[in-house]
Amino acid sequence: MTSYSIALIPGDGVGRDVTDAAWQVLSTVARHSGFTLNGTPFPWSCAFYKETGAMMPPDGIETLRRFDAILLGAVGWPAEVPDSVSLHGLLLPIRKAFVQYANIRPHRLLPGVRGPLRAENFDILCIRENTEGEYSGAGGRVHQGTTDEVAVETSIFTRTGVERILRFGFEQARARRGKLASVTKSNAQKYSMVFWDEITHKLAAEYPDVDVASYHIDAMAARMVMAPESLDVVVASNLFGDILTDLGAAIQGGLGFAASANINPDRSAPSMFEPVHGSAPDIAHLGIANPIAAIWSGAMMLEHLGEKNAAQTIIGALEKTTARGIGTVPGKDRTETIAAAVLAALD
């Protein structure tokens, strides 16, 4: 029987509840589908940092490298550990070390979920560059604490990095409705973003079947609200993609529905799957976090592992659950109620 080894990092806050729920659903689907998921939990989190002084052990990356995939809940507990420390100690190094350069985030309304827009029939796949750009980590501070203090943080765009994410976007567009929107701010940022636009233009010649258009980030923000049905695949740099995907989460009814996959398309290292919502400290102890984003991320994991039918079964169960009005309104249903409804909808 095929068996997959999965590293489980529930992390902080609601990350623990939603990872539990997702794992129940994933294990059940695996059992029904004739494959095994072998989960190994890791306690890496802000609590782990408080105990050990690090978000993960020094060999954490090497430990994770042996797994087929990583399922992550959330990282961050700002009351105890600054976000700039926790994220740079766990989530961001994993994305970079494992060259998970494509962060994929689907934005559509599940049946029965009411978004804030009149539009209901949008189906957007945001693809965010996930290893460089504005998140390159290049920079520094000098003359700290004085009036002469300077802070520099440099975006880095490499030809390799830009070309591979755009190519990934073109391929996704080709497999979907054939439309690609490439997002920059090349009217103001004349080096990196013009570079990105040029590469978009160059690759377009290789994909004559894809209808490609370039947008500025500000115009794209407006378009996602005013005309989301006009969009198919949207590809953007790391920070721009980060911002647009919270907007995408909002129009799909909230962060409780926003799933994501950090993909290493070359499969030279494990990919990582996580809901977009984060640790949500305000509701962390209430048992009301929506597990749908985590479960949907788990389905994306199965899809990546090649278990397409099992992934589709989970998406179908999510759709049946929300169509019954369960998990559709923030805070109405408990995490365990929603998870139980999804489990029941599997068969």
Residues near ligand IPM (CB under 6 A): 87, 242, 276, 278
Which residue lies nearer to Mn ion by CB, 20 or 242? 242
- When CB distances are held under 5 to 8 angstroms depending on the partner's kind, the choice from ligand IPM, Mn ion, none that residue 212 binds is none
Considering just the CA atoms, what is the radius of gyration of the chain in Å?
20
Q: Would you state the structure tokens that stand for residue 170, as one six-digit string?
A: 């073109």
50 vs 322: CA distance, rounded Å:
38
Least distance from ligand IPM to the Cβ atom of residue 113, Å? 20
Q: Are residues 169 and 204 in contact, defined by beta-carbon separation less than 8 angstroms?
A: no
Give the nearest distance from C-beta 101 to Mn ion in angstroms. 17
Query: How distant is the alpha carbon of residue 273 from its chain centre?
Result: 7
Q: How many CA atoms lie within 13 A of 43 on its CB side?
A: 6
Smallest separation (angstroms) from Mn ion to the CB of 86: 14
Min CB(278)–ligand IPM separation in Å: 6
Q: By C-beta, is 106 or 278 nearer to ligand IPM?
A: 278
129 binds Mn ion (CB under 5 A): no
Q: How far is CA 47 from CA 57, 80, 87, 88, 261, in A?
A: 13, 9, 13, 15, 25
Write down the least CB distance from residue 128 to Mn ion, Å: 9
Q: Which is nearer to ligand IPM, 241 or 313 (CB)?
A: 241
DSSP 322: H
- Using CB distances below 5 to 8 A depending on partner kind, what does residue 87 bind out of Mn ion, ligand IPM, none? ligand IPM
CB 106 within 8 A of CB 221: no
Q: Which residues pair with 156 in a beta bridge?
A: 133
Which listed option, Mn ion, ligand IPM, none, makes contact with residue 134 (CB within 5 to 8 Å by class)? Answer: none
Interface residues for Mn ion in 242-261 (CB under 5 A)? Answer: 242
DSSP 210: S
Interface with Mn ion in residues 205-244 (CB under 5 A): 242
- Where along the sequence are the contacts to Mn ion (CB under 5 A)? 242
